[in-house]
A and B are shown apart, each in its own frame.
Chain A
Amino acid sequence: MSNSISRFEDPGLPEHQHRKSDIDAIAANRAERQVAVLFLLSAIGTIGTIASYIFIDSKKFIYLPILGDTNAQQLALGTGLAASLFFIGIAAVHWAKTLMPDEEVIAERHEFRSSDEDRADFVTTVKERAGAAGLGRRSLIKRSMGIALGLIGLSPLVLLRDLGPLPKQQLFTTDWSAGVRLVTDPGDRPIKPSDLEVGAVAQVLPQLPAGTERTLENVGKDAVLLIRIRPEDFNLDAERLSWTHDGIIAFSKICSHMGCAVALYEQQTKHLLCPCHQSTFDVTRAAKVIFGPAARPLPQLALTLDADGYLVAKQGFTEPVGPSFWERNSA
């Protein structure tokens, strides 16, 4: 890259400095021995790896500082493998640095650009041959080809239709409905109000009809958090208050933001915290969002008691649970 006349001159490549191993045969031999030792270290590593696979008990643990009690075979296999690989690399690099020629070589770059003649030839060739194919003149071919090629991409897309069912009402419904009992998760035990003290929390699921297996898809919609506080601590309108029972309130556990389990309950502040993105919900105000990216409160499940005194849902959720979606209508 040339500069204007008054700039400094490029002095060219600096004079080559010889390495010790270039001028001193003893140093060169020493370097060779070093490379040999490094290669041998790798070989020892390989032998160590194979030996530890065969001879070390896979259940044995040994104590090492920093690591703690670690699996001996895993450690030996790993460090042996690491050594066998690492030292080949170090040997090769040390060999290159000390013994291989280290004079800098200059190679010329070539211009990528084709000659003007070649470019002109290219243009002529393409024009001639495209013309011969009739592309320019025969517009009927051009248009029908366009239609054919434009359409062909659609078939593969259509073939993907059976990837999954249409959502229909699935995002809008859960297994909760009027009269469904709340049961513990895990354990499936129904709950009476007296089972829950003030300040207590319980993870609950709906009792499914006898014989029905609970799937993860069920849990992903049905998981509910049951919380008991003092009734006077509620700050709810009349309707939401009627969904509670003697200080017991229930919310969907599936975060209204992105669907993580909002299971963190802070007893003193009566806040629910979702650990994924730190959305914070106020239990006393029907899980109103007080911090974080969630835009909607957690849906509240209306509670009542059944004839045997167990907690049941008064009705299903009045809005879809979980993260938002385009068809969701409620605020």
Chain B
Amino acid sequence: MITYALKRLAIAVPTLLLLIVISFLLMHSAPGGPFTSERELPPEVLANLNAKYGLDQPLWRQIATYVWSIVSDFDFGPSFVYKDRSVNEIIAQGFPITLTYGLLSFAVAVVVGVSLGVAAAIRHNSALDYIAVGVSIGAQVLPNFVMAPILVLVFTLWLGWLPGGGWQGPEYWIMPVIALSTSFMASIARITRSSMLEVLTSNHIRTARAKGLPERRVILRHALKPAMLPVISYLGPAFVAMITGSVVVDIYFSTGGIGKAFVDSALNRDYAVMMGVTILIGALTIFFNLMVDLLYGWIDPKIRY
């Protein structure tokens, strides 16, 4: 399994390279550049700007220089728009924020989602089941950009319990985590329930029950593990979707995370920031998918790598 993991990590390098090249080309073929502004810049100023940021070089050389400075110095270059900051600084500031509320949301989504799903499956067709299904469906269909302003309206304006945005301490984390985790929690609950139901009717559980094992033991020891397989498969895409959701969180709760930086960089043509964030998210996704795969293999040893 270690060889497998190493192999996967080795493949990450060409993946990231490809990602860099694709993003670079896409970005540069979009109309408008980082210095497109309403007052057309005098040619000499534009030339100076282009020279400063290396945009006067042929594209292949720009890519090569870029990759080299990452490899040699782990330097993602200066931001084109936030001019007194480097991409490293922007990520160093924004990423811990995104990571904090992202991990919290992830934990909440998994723990609550799985518990709810298992409970619903065990009491299949009971009131609890219907409530759990109803709640999770309701939660799943409410887009987070609807939930976010409602949360602020209720908890900030009406009740005055929580700050309406910003990132100064744990009380600022609550609404972002609720807004981000709810729909994933609901999805995980549904998947868990559905998969648990399947496992519970499978023969090995019947066998276990027939042996007279206590129900609790049957569920925790025999049913939960196989039932987690589809949930684990879902975690990879959920992770990517969560990054998307962080854009909404950043916009509505002014957290200063990288989700907003990501969208802004595309709209502002801030090539350096957009490349930096893309690579970061790409690398994270690769790492995360690897973890999911390893977890999958650990749970179902029949999978051969």
The answer to whether A and B belong to the same complex is no
Residues of B within 8 A of A (CB): none
A interface residues (Cβ-Cβ under 8 A, vs B)? none
